Amino acid sequence: MPDGRDVCLPRSRLRRCPLWGATALGALLCVVALFVGAPARGEGPARLSLESPASTITVGEEVTVTVRVQEVTNLYGIDLRLGFDPEVLEVVDIDPGKEGAQSTPGRYPYPDLEARNEADNDAGTIWYMVTQLGAREPVSGTGTVVALRLRGRAAGSGAITVNQADLANNEGFMIPVETRDATIAVAEALADGEGDVAATEAGTSPVGAAAAGAVAVAAAGALVMVWRRRLRRGVAAGGGSAAG
C-alpha cells in the first residue's frame, strides 16, 4: 500500500506542470489539477481593470472599487497583488473577525479555496488569491474578481496599481492579461454649514445683487408692456385714443 507522501504529492507529475515552482498560484493550481483533471486549453488574452463609480471622494467618505476581468477564457484561479497610497486611502475591513482587512470576493473565479484575502493599510498592499476546486467549471467572459471598499484618509491623489496579476486555467497554464490601474482623488470635507454660508454669500454679493436687480427690472418691463397692450385694446374697442 503506498504511503501518504506518494498519494498526496506525486512529484514527477508536479514537475511537468508548467507553473510548478514559478508562482504561488501556479504551485497551488498544479496540485489542484492532479485531482481535478485537465480539459483542453483554449484561453485568449484577457483584460483586468479597476473600476469606481466616483473618481473623487472626500476625507472620510467611502467608495467601492471593483476589480473586473473581461474577455477571459477558462479562468480557474487568480493571484492578485495591488498597491495603494496609505497616506491617502485605506481599505475598509468587511470582516473584523479575521486578521487584516478583508475585501468582498467575486465569482470570477469562484472562491472555493481562499488562499489570501488581506490588506495592509500601513504598507498600502492588497493580496487576493483564490481558486476553484472540484468539478466546478472554469469561468469565461466578464465578471467581478473582488470588490474593495476604500475610505478617504487624507486629501491627495490616491493611485491604485496592479502590481501582479497571475490568471490561470485548471491545467495550471497562465492566461495572458492586460491590466489597467485607477486613481481616486480625495478632497477635504466641507465643515458643517460651509455649504449654506457659501450659498448665502453668493446671493448677497455684488454680482448676486446685480443679477437679482436685472431680473427685477426685466420683470417690471414685461408687466408695463402687457399693461400698454391691454389699454390700447380697450381704447380701440371704445373708439377713443390713448396717450403715451
Q: Can you give the pLDDT at residue 14?
A: 43
Report mean pLDDT in 10-residue bins for the chain, 244 residues. 36 46 58 43 79 96 98 97 98 87 96 96 97 95 98 97 96 94 94 56 50 50 55 56 46
User: Rounded distance, CA 159 to CA 148, Å?
Assistant: 14
pTM to 2 decimals?
0.66
CA atoms within 13 A on the CB side of 148: 33
Q: Are 161 and 152 in contact (CB under 8 A)?
A: no
Q: Can you give the pLDDT at residue 98?
A: 81
Spans of all domains in the chain = 4-187, 194-238
Burial of residue 72, with CB atoms counted within 10 A of its CB: 0-12 exposed, 13-18 middle, 19 or more buried:
buried
Tell me which of 3.40.640.10, 2.60.40.680, 1.10.357.10, 1.20.120.1770 is the CATH number of domain 4-187.
2.60.40.680
Say which DSSP state 93 is in.
Answer: P
Which residues on adjacent β-strands are paired with residue 159? 183
Q: Can you give the pLDDT at residue 214?
A: 53
Q: Can you give the pLDDT at residue 13?
A: 41
Q: Can you give the pLDDT at residue 238?
A: 57
Q: Can you give the pLDDT at residue 5?
A: 34
